[in-house]
Structure 1
Amino acid sequence: MWLRRAVPFIWASVIVLGLTAYVLHPGYFSLAALEGTTDEHRAVALILYFLILSVRGLVLVPSTPLLLSGIVLFDPLEAFVVSMLGILTSSTLVHCCARRLGFDAVLEERYPEQSEQIRAHLMEHQFPVIAGWSICPIVPTDLVVYLASTLRVPLWKCLVGVGAGEGVLLSVYILIIRGMLLA
Structure 2
Amino acid sequence: RFEHASGLIQVALTICCAYTCWILAEGVFEASGVLSTVSGALVLAKNMWPAVVHKDAMEHIWHMIEFAMNTIIFFLAGALTGKIETNRNIKIGDFWTLLLLWLVSALIRLVMLFGSKPLLDRMGTKTTWQDLLVMCWGGLRGAVGLALAVYLHTKAAELGIAPVDADRILFFMGGFACI
TM-score (norm 2): 0.30
Determine which structure has more spread, i.e. the larger CA radius of gyration.
2
